[in-house]
A = this chain, B = another copy of it.
Amino acid sequence: MFEVNSNVVGAAAGKHGEAASDIKLQPVQPAALKLACSNCNLLELCMPLGLKTEELDKIEAVVALRRKVKRGSRLYGNGEKFTSLFAIRTGFFKTCVTTEDGRNQVTGFQMAGEVIGLDGIVQDHHTCDAVALEDAEVCVMPFDRIEELSREVVSLQRHVHKIMSREIVREHGVLLLLGSMRAEERLAAFLLNLVQRLHARGFSQSELLLRMTREEIGSYLGLKLETVSRTFSKLVEDGIVEVRQRHIRIVDSAALKLIINSHTPSC
């Protein structure tokens, strides 16, 4: 269902009443095909451990639908009515908040096994946009059913709480990054975080394909796209990474970590 992992979702800055986003629903297959949680290779990523078969059955029933989201289109948008959380099955998302006066901020990048939509709970409306950066598929989990079930299944209740707490802690890390790091440190932290999460999903420890533009990275890191580009170039010069467009190869992971940890005193 969903993951308690070190990097999930978010939302902010309100404004209600938008149209529904690009909808492509498909009912979950009947039991015969068994595309449900028990067969999902993300199970251990996104469910509490040690569920009884009986509990797992209940939880599978929560996943009402699958939904495909095309690259570039929104899973949900600011102002839209909140009904469900979404567990990412495949694909890659960004979430971003926008103010009335056009300010924009990417608040996170999410990948398979992570849950998005938590921002919508408090106001019953979403306060950010979730945009697919590549073709994606999500499990739609109506929130009232999650609440219902987590009153019955204690481990699920605890799991939901952890997911939300995890998101809070993740954002604390981003606050630290934005509040106290220089450009090179931010980019290093960004790359290490991405590659670590990808590695947890079975991908390489040293290579990654960026799903987002320099501008989106910049927005997330509080930098201009030119600064992101220049900082990449500097890392290349220093022999720490190789960059071919969006294909990144981390040559010297230790050096990246050193960039983050060896800052001058104070701050």
Contact = CB atoms under 8 A, between A and B. Distances in A.
Interface stretch (A29-37, A117-125, A202-210): A117-125
A101 B168 contact: no
Contact of A176 (B13, B150, B154): B13
A193 interface: no
Interface string A141-181: 00000010011101001101111111111111111101111
Contacts of A262: 101
A155 to B, nearest CB: 11
A4 B121 CA distance: 11
A102 interface: yes
Interface stretch (A103-111, A132-140, A231-239, A243-251): A103-111
Contacts of A84: none
A54 interface: no
Given A104-B267, A171-B171, A165 B119 contact: yes
**Copies per complex of this chain:** 2
Given A4-B122, A121-B161, A105 B263 contact: no
A236 B11 CA distance: 34
A63 to B, nearest CB: 19
B168 A11 contact: yes
Given A122-B166, A164-B164, A167-B168, A99 B176 contact: yes
**Across chains A and B, which 10 residue pairs bring their CB atoms closest together, nearest first?**
A12-B172, A121-B165, A178-B178, A179-B222, A122-B165, A164-B164, A171-B171, A105-B176, A122-B166, A151-B151
